[in-house]
Structure 1
Amino acid sequence: MTIKRSILETAGDQFFLPDLPFYVNRVHESFAMLQHTHDFIEISYVAEGSGAHYIENTSLSVSKGDLFFIPVGVSHVFRPSSTANKNPLIVYNCLFTQEWMEQLLSKQSKGTKDDFNVLFTQAIEQSSWLSFKESNSEFQPLFERLHFEYNAHLSGFMTIFQACVAQLLVFMHRSQLAHPLDMTEAKLQDLDRLLAYIRSHCSHPISLTAAAARLSISERQLHRQLKKHTGMSFTAYVQQARIEACCRQLRLTDHKISDIAATVGYQDMKFFNQLFKKMTGVTPRTYRQQHRT
């Protein structure tokens, strides 16, 4: 059984005021949000906790210090490691229109030979997301300032806001120069296609050997690349894809929990319940009760 994911479309007019083409929030991520696209640019920073970030058909393990540049039209959603309140996944989101960013980049490029804006203009044109890792706590103070300035609306806050976003882009570019990706775009696309296949066919048995054969690489190579790209082992990635599929069915259907478990390959209900609670923090029955409308 193939489970089709629901992708929501989020419009900027839900966040932006007529004379204010940007927005900042600080949220506790949960399992309630669906994967979504938007008609604005988003920069997301993981401030606390850990979990997963689903971008298009890729799943990445995230923790404090991870930052993402999400262009228009790219689907994504954050998921916490569990629903336990003792270690929540807290994310800052800075949203702005593409036009506003293009104007900001145009201003920054005048009178300088620095080409840091090329990284972001290409990402915007190609609708390709970017990821970065904080090395010296350079991102967090900027997001704290952006969040404060947006909510306080003190005199001159727009000037400070623009300066903070420009500084953020520079730090992101420096991070990319210091830690360039060593996987070619073709290899990333092949791996992304494999991950998409696993997520859409998680009800079918798939082994590490078979997955490696699809990419014409060794099991050791696949394990290393998967660990680097997602932060998870092959088994953990498959389990997460299956539990995510179960969550969708628990939210959207009235099927028996045992039948839902069976559709993604779990016949041992004791093991399934233990795994589900380990990954979400609650039992399947409690999860359904919490997320039914």
Structure 2
Amino acid sequence: MGKPNLLMEKGEQFFADGFSLYVNRVSEDFDLPEHEHDFIEICYVWAGSGFHYIEDQTIRVTQGDLFFLPLGVSHIFRPSSNKPKEPLIIGNCIFDEKIFHFLTSILPEQYGLYSFRGMNAETDRWLQMREKSGEFGRLFESLYMEFEHKRTGYETMLSGLLLQLLIVMERAMTPEINKGNLIAERIDSVYRFVRDHLHEKQTLATVAQHIGVGERQLQRNLLDKAQLSFTSLLQKERIDRSCQLLIDPSLSSLTIADISSRVGIHDLKRFHLLFKQAMGMTPARYRQLNTQ
């Protein structure tokens, strides 16, 4: 490690009281030369825009960009302008290999951090990612405030926040897998809500609001994953439930109108029409054939 004519920053310049984790927020300028370091660094673009020179690459950066820099990676940030009104603000979280190894191995392997678990030896592998909705910024704000105030137990709190940051970064490195899981969970939530409230009036808007997603996005998810519109899904669930009620021996005293009402279809004529379209026979005939 160590390249000619490069400034070497050492952790001992920053770490204190035996705790090898340091957090700061700086306004970048043109004075600090390109450098490398003997610690691991996570850099977050807090505000502004500029350039990040990493090894032999030049990367334009704006608020929300984040970089993971292992030991020995040479880099430097430069603002787009030297005007004081247009600063490039960078948050830095630096820590030594011992803390990194501890945090990436403290949980059983099946719990995740797969990408980071084997990175100790890959000292030349730097990473770039970008937040989707402020997730990196919120954690950096918490890290910075915890480090600045140094209240009781701050070392443990900082270690926990760094672990959270690594997990969020892990998720960002596997967006398609996580996106698929998220959509699958969303569809499951739709089915659970619809089935639990079949007797009530339901609309795409009410279900989307309950789940916390936009109507158009939810409709797209349903068409992509369930191959059904919300209206078709709701009708299918109501007819499926009515079939169960029709053949339940303990509910033989229920009339067709009772069952129609229980599944949220209060127009008996419409219930007959939808049932016959789905099952090819009337509700009464279905009950007769399946309760003999």
Q: Do the structures match in fold with TM over 0.5?
A: yes
Partner of 1:78 in structure 2? 77
Partner of 1:10 in structure 2? 9
Letter in 2 for 1:171: V
- Tell me by how many angstroms 1:5 deviates: 8.2
Q: Does 1:123 align with 2:119?
A: yes
Q: Deviations over 1:245-278 (max 9, x none)?
A: xxxxxxxxxxxxxxxxxxxxxxxxxxxxxxxxxx
Q: Does 1:151 align with 2:128?
A: no
Structure 2 CA distance for aligned equivalents of residues 123 and 57 of structure 1: 21
Residue 51 of structure 1 aligns to a residue whose secondary structure is strand
| 8 Å contact kept, 1:139–1:168 | yes
Matches within 5 A, 1:186-225: none
Structure 1 CA distance for aligned equivalents of residues 129 and 50 of structure 2: 16
Residue 22 of structure 2 aligns to a residue whose secondary structure is strand
Structure 1: gaps spanning 5 or more residues = 181-293
Residue 124 of structure 1 aligns to a residue whose secondary structure is coil
Greater RCO between the two (CA within 8 Å, min separation 6)?
Answer: 1
- Tell me by how many angstroms 1:67 deviates: 0.3
Letter in 2 for 1:126: E
| 8 Å contact kept, 2:146–2:158 | yes
- Pick one of 169, 175, 178 that aligns with 1:172: 169
Overall identity of the aligned pairs, in % = 41
Structure 2 CA distance for aligned equivalents of residues 56 and 123 of structure 1: 18
TM-score using structure 1 length: 0.57
Q: Does 1:96 align with 2:95?
A: yes
Residue 169 of structure 2 aligns to a residue whose secondary structure is helix
Structure 2 CA distance for aligned equivalents of residues 64 and 141 of structure 1: 13
- Tell me by how many angstroms 1:179 deviates: 6.4
- Tell me by how many angstroms 1:158 deviates: 1.6
Runs of 4+ off more than 6 Å: none
| 8 Å contact kept, 1:6–1:35 | no
Partner of 2:202 in structure 1? none
Structure 2 CA distance for aligned equivalents of residues 13 and 162 of structure 1: 18
Letter in 2 for 1:19: G
Partner of 2:129 in structure 1? 132
| 8 Å contact kept, 2:52–2:78 | yes
| 8 Å contact kept, 2:54–2:73 | yes
Structure 2: gaps spanning 5 or more residues = 178-292
TM-score using structure 2 length: 0.57
Q: Rg larger in 1 or in 2?
A: 2
Q: Deviations over 1:164-190 (max 9, x none)?
A: 11110111111111169xxxxxxxxxx
Structure 1 CA distance for aligned equivalents of residues 45 and 25 of structure 2: 10
Structure 2 CA distance for aligned equivalents of residues 166 and 134 of structure 1: 17
Aligned pairs, number: 174
Partner of 1:64 in structure 2? 63
